[in-house]
Chains A and B, each alone.
Chain A
């Protein structure tokens, strides 16, 4: 009974972690930039979901609208951000690369303070998914199962996109050898813009999905970046499948860690990260080159 609840909670954490980490690892893998503001956009996604659903108060479909609109908007913001800012950072010294992304973190926090203040904001669960679901021998809100399902569907879609489409092939080629790809006629700049847009859509989706579960609060952007970074490092920088596996492991570890030592649940994740890196410095799913 208790175990079932922890499993479900772990899967929910894993789904969210995966959606955030997948974008972070894609941006790193293809553009070679570590975007420390990635979690900030997760946080902003939650607030955007809050504002959108509050603005559309009476509407029953408000949450679903946010679920579609926020990722689309985030993709557009991602494309613009890549074109005006990140494009200038490619191939630059790592420190110089990271500084502007830290600036974005502060900008995001100030924006949250100015617009939403310090009070946590919760989005109400869509009425259609309020009913209790009997699963793993426990009774839980159907919304939890929906989040897990959404995570699985997106992961499968991402796999199809990257492994099976022409666009995915160009993304993989650009990630591995930007120069050769360009000499074969691939507009690698456009590929990077679209990868950024996709990554931002994923993190926006993660934000909306988590909004009815945890709500939005000002410090969560940095926390999310740090956790997603751990997932990405353990999974192997640039490996989406590594991130999926690591997110699953971390989600479970967090969920069961809370049972053992509530105050150290997050610390377990980092102990696990250190342990993995001792034995596989390149991460779980990346062959050392």
Chain B
């Protein structure tokens, strides 16, 4: 469904991806693993065009995304949840959810109440400034906000970073529900908790290219082959 093929990407004159290839199948969760600076964030950004793709192709449901600006890419069904929980300051929780421009179909599929059903803690906070939530609540809000697009795939950038185990547990459970409902996820992570729970495939990235790709089972069996690229627990 989402295919990156030989993608090169650069920040200005500084290249960061070197011929990266990766595929996410419909309804599947692909884990993108790698240490700090390996290129996980850049990979997600190359899909939503927040970084310049200098060569290679990104296709979504067969459509080449090269010509589309970020807001049009969002409307094709790709929702991006950036790292560090970028809540829009000055907006309440509910306003953060309402920012999304979306099709009537997305409106019908994801009325705001459905976001509150998915993450009940948000319901009581709907009029609170989004930046005045706990880390876990902010992450829930970021994911809920992305879901307002009624996406076919969710690009999650280190969603568990800095969160308490209990919160990660809740997030994992909710993401599993969404996956069961057919949502595909490209999950960039350094920790293995969510990966173990959700992933179907694992892809190890280092210095801007994929160094290992396989099913989660293979990845576990081959763990020794990738250990030196990860240094994670």
Question: Taking beta carbons and an 8 Å cutoff, which residues of A are in contact with B?
Answer: 166, 169-170, 172-173, 176-177, 179-189, 289
Q: How far, in Å, is B204 (CB) from chain A's closest CB? A: 26
Q: How far, in Å, is A145 (CB) from chain B's closest CB? A: 35
Q: Which of A172, A177, A188 contacts B71 (CB under 8 A)?
A: A188
**Residue numbers in B under 8 Å from A183 (CB-CB):** 48, 50, 70-71, 74, 79-80, 82
A173/B88 in contact, CB under 8 A: yes
A179/B99 in contact, CB under 8 A: no
A186/B99 in contact, CB under 8 A: yes
A182/B74 in contact, CB under 8 A: yes
A181–B102 CA distance with the chains assembled, in angstroms: 12
A172/B91 in contact, CB under 8 A: yes
B100/A179 in contact, CB under 8 A: no
A146–B82 CA distance with the chains assembled, in angstroms: 50
B74/A173 in contact, CB under 8 A: no
A-B contact pairs, 11 of them (CB 8 A): A172-B88, A172-B95, A176-B88, A177-B89, A180-B88, A181-B88, A181-B99, A182-B70, A183-B74, A184-B101, A289-B89
A182/B91 in contact, CB under 8 A: no
Q: How far, in Å, is A165 (CB) from chain B's closest CB? A: 11
Q: Which of A166, A180, A182, A289 contacts B98 (CB under 8 A)?
A: A166
Interface check B216, CB cutoff 8 A: no
Measured CB to CB, the nearest residue on chain B to A182 is B70
Interface check B148, CB cutoff 8 A: yes
Return the CB mask of B128-152 against A: 1 if under 8 Å, else 0.
Answer: 0000000000000000011011000
A25–B50 CA distance with the chains assembled, in angstroms: 27
B101/A187 in contact, CB under 8 A: yes
A170/B99 in contact, CB under 8 A: yes
Assuming the contacts A166-B98, A169-B99, asked whether A184 and B74 have C-beta atoms less than 8 A apart, the reply is yes
Interface check B182, CB cutoff 8 A: no
Measured CB to CB, the nearest residue on chain A to B78 is A183
Measured CB to CB, the nearest residue on chain A to B98 is A169
A185/B80 in contact, CB under 8 A: no
Q: How far, in Å, is B115 (CB) from chain A's closest CB? A: 13
Interface check B75, CB cutoff 8 A: yes
**Residue numbers in A under 8 Å from B99 (CB-CB):** 169-170, 173, 181, 184, 186
**Residue numbers in B under 8 Å from A182 (CB-CB):** 69-71, 74
Interface check B90, CB cutoff 8 A: yes
Measured CB to CB, the nearest residue on chain A to B81 is A183
Interface check B86, CB cutoff 8 A: yes
A224–B174 CA distance with the chains assembled, in angstroms: 56
**Residue numbers in B under 8 Å from A172 (CB-CB):** 88, 90-91, 95
**Residue numbers in A under 8 Å from B50 (CB-CB):** 179, 183
Return the CB mask of B54-75 against A: 1 if under 8 Å, else 0.
Answer: 0000000000000001110011
B148/A177 in contact, CB under 8 A: no
Q: Which residues in window 73-119 of B have CB below 8 A to A?
A: 74-75, 79-80, 82, 86, 88-91, 95, 98-102
A185/B102 in contact, CB under 8 A: yes
Contacts beyond the supplied A172-B91, A173-B88: 11 A-B pairs with Cβ under 8 Å: A170-B101, A176-B89, A181-B88, A181-B99, A183-B50, A183-B74, A184-B71, A184-B74, A184-B99, A185-B100, A187-B71
